[in-house]
Amino acid sequence: MKSKISTPKKIKAKNHSLKFKVKDMDIATGGTLVVILNAKDAHLLDLHSGDRILVKTNKKEQVCILDISESKKAVPEGKIGLFEEVLDRLDIKNNQIVKIKFTGKPESVKHIRSKLYGKRLSYTELLHVIDDITHDRLTDIEKTYFVAAGFIEGWNNEEVVDMTRAMVKTGYKLKFPGVTLDKHCIGGVPGNRTTMVVIPIIAAAGFTIPKTSSRAITSPAGTADTMECLARVELPEGKIKNIVKKAKACIVHGGSMNLAPADDKIIEVEHPLSIDAEGQLLASVMAKKFSVSANHVLIDIPMGKQVKVKNWKQAKHLKKMFKLIGRKLGMNVKVMITDGTQPIGNGIGPFLEAMDVMQVLKNDILAPQDLKHKSLMLAATLLEMTGKYRKGKGLKVAREILESGKAHKKMNEIIAMQGKQKKVNIGSYQHIVKSTTIGRVKEIDNEVIAKIARMAGAPQDKGSGLYINKKVHHPIKKGEVLYTIYAENEFKLGLAKEFAKKNNGYIIK
C-alpha cells in the first residue's frame, strides 16, 4: 500500500522540513519561480503569499516564491503546485515527492526598501539585488519597487558604475583577442538600422566587432528582428565565438547569450510603467558593452520630440554620463548626438528595414541616402577611435569599403556563417496613404509611424510595416503617396488603416 502524504495536524515551526507531493500546474510564469500551497496547509505552516520556501529533491534544491490557493481543485491539501520553471530547474515530474522549508525573504528586499528611503546602495547591496533579479528570486512587486526607487530617488555615478559591474558579474562575459569595437543606439527612431551597415564596414576594415542586439519591445523592429530576416540570430556561445574569430563580426540576439541578463528583466518591469530611469539606462547599455570586452564604444543618442532625449541639455548631460562611466570601466567611449526628428531609411518593420540595409550595402540607386549617410558617419567615427586613422580619414576609408562592395561581401559572409534564413516575403495586404493637401512636409511623428507599423503586425509579422515615400522638407502635392502600409493579414491591415485615417503622422504646411 502506498504511503499517503498528509497535512500537519497542528502548526509546525517554520524551520521544519516537510514533504509534499508535486502537482504539475502546466503553467509558465515567464521567469519567476513560483510554487503554490493549499490555503489550509499554508495556514498550518504559518506561511503567507510572497514568502520564500526552499523546495528540495534528492539531488537539487531551489528557492521559490510562494502563492496560496483557496481552491482544493487547483491544489489539494498535501500537494504543492509547481510552475514549469520550477519543474525544469529541479528536473522533477508530477506526483514526485519534494521537501519544503521556509527560508525568509532575500536580503535584497531590505536594500530595495533602503533605496526607497533615499539611501545610497553599495556595490555589495546592488550585487545582491541584481543577482536575485537575475535568478528570479524576487516577485514582480519587489522588482517594480526597485525600478521605481531608482526612478524617484535617482542613482549617483558610483551606483551606476556598481550596478553595471553587478550586471556583468551575474551574467556571461565574452572575451575576444585584440581590439574590440561596439556601438549602441539608445533608440526611439523608426528604421535607423545603421548597425547592420556599420558592422560589415568595420569588420571588412579588419577590426573585431561582435554585435549582440535586442529585439523590439515598443518599436516596429529591433536589430535582431531585422537580421533574422536574413540569418539566424539565436546561436550558442561556441558558434558565435567561431563566427567572430573567422568573420571578425556577428549580429546576433543578445538575449540568448546571458549577457547582463538582469538588464532584460528590469526592462520588462519598466515597459508597462513607461519609465526609463537614467541610471538604469546607462548601466543597461554599458553592461552589455562591458560583457563583450569592448575597448572602444560608440553611443548614438538620437534627439527629437518623440524620442528619449528631447533637447540639447538632456543630450549633453547623457553624453557626459556615458563618457564618465566608460572611463571608470576602462572603456574608450565616444557619443554622437544625431537627428531623431523623423524615421531613418524608407522601411519600417523587419523585412522592409532589411531591404533598406541590403540596398545600401549593394550601392543600389534606390537605397535610402539618409541611412547610408548616417551609417558612414558612425563607421568613420569608430574607425578613427581605434587610433589607426587620423581625424577625417575614417570617412574616406568607410566610404571606400562600402562603395567597393567589400562591406556587402562581408555581410554575406556573416549571413552564411550564422545560417541563411528562408526568404521572407513582404505582406501581401497593402494600403496606400496619400496626402490630402499641398505643401511641404514639416514634421513626421515617430510615435504614430511606429504605432501604425505595429498595428499592421510588425515586428511579429516580419513582412509587415510601412514603406515611406516622403520625408521632412520634401515638397508634396495633393494625392501624392506618403507611405504604404503592408500587412500579412486583412484584419491587421484594417486596424492600421483605420488608425492612419485618424492620424497619418504627417504635418504638411
Active site residues: 276
List the helix and strand counts (H, then E) for the chain: 18, 18
Residue 252: beta bridge partners?
A: 212
Residues 423 and 233 sit within 8 Å (Cβ to Cβ): no
- Residue 155 and residue 335: Cα distance in Å, rounded? 21
- Nearest 5 degrees, angle CA 468-CA 474-CA 475? 120
- Cα dist. 82→12, 76, 169, 296 in Å? 22, 13, 29, 46
- All three cell numbers of 269: 518591469
Closest CA to 417 of 156, 211, 235, 209: 235
| Other beta carbons within 10 Å of 331 | 20
Closest CA to 31 of 143, 166, 146: 143
Give alpha helix (H) positions in 211-341.
Answer: 223-227, 237-247, 261-273, 278-291, 312-328
Closest CA to 306 of 193, 192, 441, 449: 449
Sign of torsion over alpha carbons 328, 331, 336, 340? negative
The H or E element spanning position 348 is: strand 347-348
- Residue 266 and residue 110: Cα distance in Å, rounded? 18
Sheet holding 475-476, edge to edge: 475-476, 439-444, 506-508
Residues 144 and 272 sit within 8 Å (Cβ to Cβ): no
List all residues 6 or more positions away from 367 whose beta carbon is below 8 Å from its beta carbon: 356, 359, 360
Pairing between strand 506-508 and 439-444? antiparallel
Helix, strand and coil percent figures for the chain, each rounded to 5: 40, 20, 40
- Residue 346 and residue 191: Cα distance in Å, rounded? 7
- Residue 299 and residue 296: Cα distance in Å, rounded? 10
The type of residue at 27 is I
- Residue 160 and residue 321: Cα distance in Å, rounded? 10
SS3 assignment, position 316: helix
- All three cell numbers of 359: 540596398
Helix axes 369-385, 350-361, angle to 10 degrees: 70
Question: Phi first, then psi: what are they for 483, rounded to 5°?
Answer: -165, 165
Cell 534606390 sits at which residue? Answer: 366
